[in-house]
Amino acid sequence: MNIGSWAVPSVIFLILSFSLLKKTDIFESFVGGAEKGIATTVSIIPSLVALITAVTMLKASGALEILTNFISPLTNFLKFPAELVPLAVLKPISGSASIAVFDNILKSHGPDSEIGRIASVIVGSTETTLYTIAIYFGSVGIKNIRHTATVALVADAFALVASVVTVRIIFGCP
Amino acid sequence: MLDLIWSAMMIISIICAGITGKIDLLSNAVLEGAEESIKIVIATLGVMTFWSGIMRIAEDSGLTNAIVKFLTPILKFIFPDYINEKKIIHPICMNIVANLLGLGNAATPFGLCAMKEMQKYNNSRDTATNGMITLLVINTACLQLIPTFLAALRKNYNSSNPFEILPALWLSSLTALTVGIALVKILGTRKQKSKTKSNALCKNF
């Protein structure tokens, strides 16, 4: 039993009972929203194909392994799994690229391994930071973003550390 | 940016495979990767469809608005400059709620709307205000209750419990959010001190 297992059923329960009380058209709403969900998923296909293919190539060529080996003295010192470095680097820049790398990690290590769990927490607790900053400030023509990028990236770094620490505490050290 | 990353990934792998003699594996990878991506789409399509439907029910029934009302007092603490600006606080709230429920795509328009409203009160048009920086940090901390896409990917590789990582994920997000907001508060007072006197936006209300 895990608190995480309660999250989805509780949210569904809450939403359905609230809507029943309010007497809104539940099924009609569902169908409308679901249709949009399909459209969104389909719209990410091109970038997903592009990036997953590139990551698969990177893996097959041995380049990912070379990078991991190269960086492992530093990550060993920090007790951060070297396999997760490409994910940590790409996540602030591109959503599809990090999904591609994440998918590769799940495939090679399994979702229930320590690396798989930490990778999941990293993906779920960090955002495509630099991309978001560009979109938000670009929309209103702000050029001097002051300390935004620094703060956001420092917060991301804390999320990385917290991902490793929380997974090791909750699921036990290897 | 993505142009460069994407091409670099492929060019590096081609060069690397050429040197290490893994060119057979690489040409297979092109086929495999493309196939793999469609498998991922199919594996996640069902959950994404279902969850978008559920979230639309929440939106249409007014539950989202109820959560917004609940969050407003907290937001007034985080955005002290806009306490009386409903036009700013409301879209920020909607942005946060959409993010919490894992509706990243729905969150962005609200966030941009809040940015636009905050820009109206900005004295120096091309410089970010403390409120804007705070909104950005909240968005990049990515606090979400149920990351559906993530869970669907985990399930695709036969996780025994795709949601087991949620508590760790919430804690990690909260850490980033707390650190981010604290830093914005510290750096913000230091750098804007001289400006706030002339920029007494909501103090008159």
Domain around A5: 1-43
Alpha-carbon span A130 to A146, nearest angstrom: 14
Q: Are residues A70 and A130 in the same domain?
A: yes
- Residues A78 and A123 placed together within one structural domain of the fold: yes
**One domain for residues A58 and A31:** no
- The answer to whether the complex's ipTM is over 0.85 is yes
* pLDDT, tens digit, 9 for 90 and up, residues A114-147: 999 999 999 999 999 998 999 999 999 999 999 9
Question: Is residue A22 domain-shared with residue A62, that is, in the same domain?
Answer: no
Q: What pLDDT sits at residue A174? A: 58
- Split at pLDDT 50, 70, 90, the class of B84 is confident
Q: Both A83 and A140 in a single domain? A: yes
Residues of A (148-167) whose Cβ lies below 8 Å from B: 148, 151-152, 154-156, 158-159, 162-163, 166-167
**Domain boundaries along the sequence of chain B:** 32-198
For an interface test with A, give the residue of B110, B159, B169, B194 to mutate (most A CBs within 10 A): B169
Q: For residue A80, give the H/E element and its range.
A: none
Token code pair at residue B159:
């996780």
* B192, pLDDT greater than 80: no
Q: Would you state the pLDDT for residue B127?
A: 93
Do A10 and A90 fall into the same domain? no
**Count of domains for chain A:** 2
CB < 8 Å from A in window 71-100 of B: none
Residue A31 has pLDDT above 50, yes or no: yes
Mean pLDDT throughout B85-92?
Answer: 89
Residue % of chain B over a pLDDT of 70: 92
Return the sign of the alpha-carbon dihedral for residues B112, B117, B123, B129: negative
d(C-alpha A121, C-alpha A99), whole Å: 13
Model confidence over B3-21: pLDDT tens digits?
888 999 999 999 999 999 9
Residue % of chain B over a pLDDT of 90: 57
